[in-house]
Amino acid sequence: MANEIPLHQRRRDPTAAELAGIPWLRVLEPPQWTLAAREVTVGDALPGDYVCRIGRPVTYWFGVVEGLLKMSSDNAQGQTMTFTGVPPGGWFGEGTALKRESYRYNIQALRKSVVAGLPVDTFHWLLDHSIGFNRFVMDQLNERLGQFIAAREIDRMSNPDVRVARSLAALFNPTLYPGVGEILRITQQELGYLVGLSRQRVNESLAALEVQGTIRVEYGGLRVLNLEALRSSVFHAKAGAQSLPRAA
């Protein structure tokens, strides 16, 4: 369950290691870095904590230092639609921050996570004063557009194995999620939440992907062996694929 104390009331100053994990700080000039690093705060989110909610005005630009979040929305029937996961290194909501509008989605922690926030006024100051920061945000917006076009395509796929493969590929995007690297720390249950499938069905799909040589299931996560094959997967699960142990 979510903590009774709101996440924003649990914010604190980041450690040096946490600042080092924020990718856009690396593109700033020293005076800009000093100002931005002073303005960044972090919060230790617990499973179920909301980072932002639909209808709330934007106050921060957020990113994941550690952990895993999900972006979702509720339809008119009260059903939850998950758009994507946000693994380490991912920053999100730049479009909302640019327009200073209210959120049109929920962001919620799937596990214990460290979430960083940059005040929206500082976000706009950096846009006005840093070419490097502008390029970073522009790249984010471009990649995000491609991500959501792909997500619409995934939603229409009837083959669950392809859905798992494409959804995994989206989480290994090096531009949006530079903190992931080659190993994604995720459980089969968490992946099921993101893809909209049961843990058992996700297990079967991961087994088929491993047989294909696209991924390798390791303790606590997944290692990608062929990202391009993962992005273009059109295979059908092989009969008799062995069930894999649950990722820790």
* pLDDT of amino acid 162: 85
pLDDT at 134 over 70: yes
Considering the chain, tell me which residue range(s) the CATH 1.10.10.10 domain(s) occupy.
158-231
pTM: 0.83
Tell me which residue has tokens 């939603």.
Answer: 155
Q: Which one is the CATH code of 158-231: 3.40.50.1580, 1.20.120.1750, 1.10.10.10, 1.20.1240.10?
A: 1.10.10.10
pLDDT confidence tier of residue 232, bands split at 50, 70 and 90 = confident
Measured between alpha carbons, how far is 36 from 25 in angstroms, rounded to an integer? 8
List CB contacts of 61: < 8 A, sequence separation 6 or more.
91, 93, 94, 97, 117, 118, 120, 123
Tell me the per-residue pLDDT of 72-120, one tens digit each, with 9 for 90 and over.
887 666 667 788 899 999 999 999 999 999 999 999 999 999 999 999 9
Considering the chain, tell me which residue range(s) the CATH 2.60.120.10 domain(s) occupy.
7-152
Give CATH for domain 7-152. Answer: 2.60.120.10
pLDDT confidence tier of residue 40, bands split at 50, 70 and 90 = very high
What integer is the mean pLDDT of 173-194? 90
